[in-house]
Amino acid sequence: MDDVTLTASWQMWATFALVLIAVWLYFTERFSIEATSVLILTSLLVFFGFFGTGSEATLSASDIFSGFSDPALITIMALLVIGQGMFQTGALERPTKRINSLLKTAPRRTFFFVFGFAFLVSMFMNNTPIVVMFIPVISAMALQLRGSASRLMMPLSFICILAGMTTLIGSSTNLLVASTLERLTPQTVGFFDPTGPGLILAAVGGIYIVIFAPILLPKRTGEDGRPMSEGHQYIAQIKISDDHPLIGVTPKAGLYPGLRNVIVRVITRAETKLLPPFEDALTPGDVLTVAATRQALRDLMASRPEYLRGMLNIGEFENIDPDLPNRGSIVISEAVVAPGSRLIDRSIKLAGFRQNTGCLVLGIRRRSRMLRENMLDIRLEAGDTLLLFGYESDTANLRENRDVLLLDWATKELPDIRKSRVARVTFLGVIALAAAPGVPIVMAALGGALAMMATKCLNIRQAVRALDMKIFLLIGAAFAMGIALERTGGALFIANYVVDIFMPFGPVALLGALFFIIAATTNILSNSATALLFAPIAVNISAQSGIDPLTLVLTVIFAANCCFATPIAYQTNLLVMGPGHYRFSDFVKFGLPLVILLWVSFMIMTPFVFDLPA
C-alpha cells in the first residue's frame, strides 16, 4: 500500500470521527446549531490545512466553503424569501378563512379539505410558513368541532412533510440531494421525478394518519385541561363602505353573517342609533360599533381589503387610503394611557392621535366596564388600553411618547393584504418557471424573490430576516462534511461495505437497507444534513451495484424526509409541539410506526416503480 493510500486512509478515518462528533453535537444540542456548524467548518479547515497538503485527499478552503455558493443552497434561501412574502401579505389567509367558515355546514368534508389544501400548497412551497399559517386555523377547527388540537396539530406537520416528498422544490432536502447528483454525475433530477413514488408514500402515510391519529394521539387541551382564553375584548368600529361585502346582509338570530367572533353593539345610521336585536340589512354608510378580541379584529383585517377600508375610513380617518405606498412593516400593537397623560378626558378624535403619532386607534378597552358609545367619542381614562395599527417605525416612536406606554410584547406584524394577489401570482409564476424545461430552478427562485421585493410584498429587512442562519450554516457544514467524505474515500468505503452486505440479497434489499439507515439518521440529526451526508454515498453505491443513480438519489430523498419520530427531526414538528401540547414521547409513539410503515411500503413498491437490474 503506497504512501498516498495510507494518508488517504488515515484522513478517511479522521473524517469519520469528525462526522460522528458533529452528529453527536447536533443531536445533544450542547451548543447552538450555528456554533456547532462553525466549529465543524473550522475543524475541517484546520485539519486539511495541516494534513491534506500534497495528498490526493486534500481539501482547500474553497472546497470546504463551496456549499455556501451551491445553487441548491441559494435556491433554498430564495424560496424562504418567497415563502416569507406569501406570509407577509397573508396570501393564504383568505382561502384558509373561507375554508374555516364552511365548518358549520360540512365539518367532516371541510376537515379533509383543509388538510388537502395544506398538502397541495406544501408540494410547491417550504412548509414552515404553511404550518405557521394553518396552526390558528386548526385551533379554530378543534374548537368548532369540540375536539382537541392535539389530535390535529401533529397530523398537520406530518401531512406537510409528506407533501414535500412529491416535487423537487417541495423540500430543501430534495434540492440538496439533486445538487449532489448533478455535481457527481451527468444526470439531473427533474421537477416531477419524485412525484409518482412520492404520492404513493404520501397516500400510505395519509391513510395511516386518518386511521391512527384518533387512536395513538393524546386528547389534551391546556395545562389546566381547559381551552385557552379568548382574550380581552375591545370596542372598535367598522364602516360599511360602498364596496363592502356586508352590504345588504340581513341578520340571522340578531347576528350578522361574515362577522365571526364579533359582537355588534350599536349601528349608527345617519343620526339614528340602532340597538340589538338587529333586524335591518346593512347599508352603505352604516357604522358598526363592535366588541371583539384582538385576534378577531386582526382576522377581519386580514380577510379582505374591504374590511380593512371599513375599519380605517371612519371619522378623522376618512381620508386614509389603504393603498398608500408601502413604508415598511405594518404592525398591530397595544398601548396603555399613562397617568397624567394629555389624552385623559379627551376623545381620540379631539386628541388628534393619528396626526401626532401616525398610528390609528382600532379599538379601546376599559377594564372596569364594556363601553357602548361611539369609539371616537369615548373620553379616555388612565389605564385604558388602545389597540393600535400603523407602520412599525411609527409604532416604535411611541416608546418616547409620555402620553402612552407601548406594550412591546404585544406588537405583532400584520399581513399586508394589499399585496396578497401580487404575492400569489408571483408564487404561481415561480412554480410554472421551475417546472418548465430548460429553466434552472435557481433562476426561477431568485427571480421570484426579487419580484417579491420589487413589488413591495416585503422589504429588504423582512427578506433578510427570512434567511434563516441556522439552515444556512447547517447546510454549509453538511456540504463540507459530504465533500470530505467523497475526497477521502469515506463515501466509497461505506458504499462498498453496504453493497457487499446487502447486494447478495438483491437490489430491493440494498435499497431497503439504505432507506432504513437514512430514515433512522434523519430523526437523530436533521433531514438536510442527513441528505447531504448520504447523497454522495448513494452515488457511490450506484457505481458499485449498477443501479441507476437517480433511483438511489430518490431513495435518499424519501428516506431523509421520514422525519416523524422525534420533534427535533424537523422544524414543523417543533412548531406544533406547543399548540398541540405534545411530549417527546408522543412523536415516538405516533411517528415511529409511520417511519416503519413508509419503509415497508417503499420496499414493496420498489420493484414496480424503479428499473432495477436482475
Q: Return the pLDDT at 566.
A: 84
Most confident of 12-26, 163-177, 278-292, 371-385: 163-177
pLDDT at 571 over 80: no
Question: Looking at residue 218, what is its pLDDT?
Answer: 86
Quote the pLDDT of residue 338.
82
- What's the pLDDT at 107? 65
Q: What is the predicted pLDDT for the residue at 459?
A: 81
- DSSP character string of 210-259: HHHHHHHS----STTSSPPP---EEEEEEE--TT-TTTTPPPBTTB-TT-
Cα 393 to Cα 409: distance, rounded to the nearest angstrom? 16
Quick one: how far is CA 473 from the chain centroid?
A: 19
- The SS3 of residue 331 is strand
> Is the confidence at residue 114, as pLDDT, over 50?
yes
> 296: how many CB neighbours lie within 10 A of its CB?
21
d(CA 328, CA 391): 6
Chain CA centroid to CA 247, Å: 35
pLDDT score of 230 more than 70: no
Which grid cell sits at 592?
Answer: 415511529
Residue of 55 and 471 predicted with greater confidence: 471
Mean pLDDT, residues 32-48: 89
Among 84-98, 125-139, 356-370, 391-405, which range has the highest average pLDDT? 391-405
Cβ contacts of residue 275 below 8 Å, gap of 6+? 266
Predicted pLDDT of residue 206: 94
Distance CA 367, CA 389 (A): 21
**Res 226: pLDDT:** 38
Is the peptide bond preceding residue 227 cis, with omega within 30 degrees of 0? no
pLDDT in tens, 546-566: 899 999 999 999 999 999 988
Give pLDDT, residue 432: 85
User: Which letter, b or e, does each residue of 267-279 get, where b requires 16 or more Cβ atoms within 10 Å of its Cβ?
Assistant: bbeeeeeeeeebe
Res 413: pLDDT? 66
Question: 163 CB contacts (<8 Å, ≥6 apart)?
Answer: 118, 119, 120, 121, 122, 123, 127, 170, 202
Mean pLDDT (whole number) for 479-504: 84
Average pLDDT, the chain: 80
Rounded Cα–Cα distance for residues 496 and 500 (Å): 6
Q: How far is it, in rounded angstroms, from Cα 115 to Cα 113?
A: 5
Distances (CA, A) of 432 to 71, 88, 427: 19, 22, 9
Confidence at residue 9, expressed as pLDDT on a 0 to 100 scale: 65
Which among 152, 176, 179 has a CA at the least distance from the CA of 164?
Answer: 176
Q: What is the pLDDT of residues 83-92, one digit of tens each?
A: 888 877 777 6
573-612 pLDDT per residue, tens = 877 877 788 887 888 899 999 999 999 999 999 999 987 7
Strand partners, 292: 234, 262
The per-residue pLDDT for 157 is 92
Is residue 316's pLDDT more than 50? no
Map out the domains of the chain with their CATH numbers: 74-223+424-469 (no CATH), 242-312 (3.30.70), 330-414 (3.30.70.1450)
